[in-house]
Amino acid sequence: MSLDPAYLEYPRRRRGMDHDLYPWSNIAERPPIAWPGGKRVAVVIVISCEFFPLTPVDAPFRAPGHMQTAFPDYRHFTARDYGSRLGVPRLVEALAAVGAHAGFAMNSRWAERFPDLARAIVAAGHEVIAHSTDMNGTIATGLPEDDERALIADSLDGLHAVTGRRPTGWLSIARSQSWNTPRLLAAAGLGYCLDWVNDELPYRMTTPAGSIVNLPLNHELSDRQVIATCQQSADSYAEQLRDAYLWLDGEVDQRDGWNGGGRMLPIHLTPYISALPYRIDAIAALLHWLAAQPGAWFARPDAVVAAARV
């Protein structure tokens, strides 16, 4: 029995990806990006500030890093709480030592539980990025649209109430979206998200509710992936990020098939992973090494989106 030819017909078929959010392109087809001050590589640091409820919710899925054992799972709960009690202050201190500003992706419930810490992050010049309500606030297709809209609004309103700043950026838990998410984020007034990892530079999406920029925060460069999942050392993680920086810096001047111009190195850190006392020295040393690179630009995600002008 032969396959019905209609099986291969798909009304949303597009070059590159099957949607109409943006025209697919590779880096060689786009105008080069110039970062402020002639800098070569934008170093974008995002730090997750997450609150894991003691009882996880599995719909639409259980968030990575959530509780694992039978209730009450105090072992994992207190390990995550360690990140708030010690990890975040250590990372804030490490950033201050090199004069770097970062984006802090906050659950709104985290900010409500630790308001003094959330406000101190803002006072230090860092950006607050909306990161859902808590780590039960996951998104995937199948979540009712009204529930997703309410979750986004609850996150934005909660962070605004605590910090006095309404976020312009959004990071979904596990970078997971539904078919509706880009449109709902744009409708909520957000300027960018960090969920799609198919590039190394920002690009613009167009939705029926307006446009929104995607700033790729590659999970392959996160401490969760390299240290927690792949079980590599913090020194190895730092070495990989130095290698990535040097490679990206080497591409800036290329003209043979790869468009030159500014590049971007995203670094995603988790306080209860990277800020442990036997790892923080490698992270601090990495920040000092990056600060010593003449072409490096420590930039908040919102500054990169503004400078990219996509």
- Asked, for residue 40, whether it belongs to a domain, the answer is yes
For the chain, give the mean pLDDT.
95
- Asked, for residue 29, whether it belongs to a domain, the answer is no
- Asked, for residue 21, whether it belongs to a domain, the answer is no
Q: Which residues pair with 265 in a beta bridge?
A: 43
| Among 289, 235, 244, 242, CA closest to 94 | 289
- Asked, for residue 4, whether it belongs to a domain, the answer is no
Which domain range does residue 75 map to?
Answer: 36-308
How high is the pLDDT of residue 5?
A: 80
pLDDT in tens, 235-277: 999 999 999 999 999 999 987 777 899 999 999 999 999 999 9
Q: Evaluate whether 217 touches 304 at the Cβ level (below 8 Å).
A: no
- Asked, for residue 6, whether it belongs to a domain, the answer is no
- Asked, for residue 31, whether it belongs to a domain, the answer is no
pTM exceeds 0.75, yes or no: yes
How high is the pLDDT of residue 13?
A: 76
How high is the pLDDT of residue 137?
A: 98
**pLDDT < 70 stretches in the chain:** 1
Characterise 252 by phi-psi region: left (phi > 0), alpha (psi -120 to 50), beta (else): alpha
How high is the pLDDT of residue 18?
A: 82
- Asked, for residue 8, whether it belongs to a domain, the answer is no
How high is the pLDDT of residue 27?
A: 87
Query: What CATH number is attached to the domain comprising 132?
Result: 3.20.20.370
One-letter amino acid at 252 equals V
Separation CA 62–CA 136 (nearest Å): 7
Q: How many domains does the chain have?
A: 1
- Tokens for 214? 């995607």
pLDDT in tens, 73-93: 999 999 999 999 999 999 999
- Asked, for residue 265, whether it belongs to a domain, the answer is yes
* DSSP track, the chain: -PPPGGGG--TT--SSSSSSSS----GGGSPPP--GGG-SEEEEEEEEE----SS---SS-PPTT---SSSS-HHHHHHHHHIIIIIHHHHHHHHHHHT---EEEE-HHHHHHSHHHHHHHHHTTPEEEE--SSTT----TTS-HHHHHHHHHHHHHHHHHHHS---SEE--GGG---TTHHHHHHHTT--EE----S-SS-EEEEETTEEEEE----GGGBHIIIIIIS---HHHHHHHHHHHHHHHHHHTT--SSS--S-EEEEEEE-HHHHTSTTTHHHHHHHHHHHHT-TTEEE--HHHHHHHH--
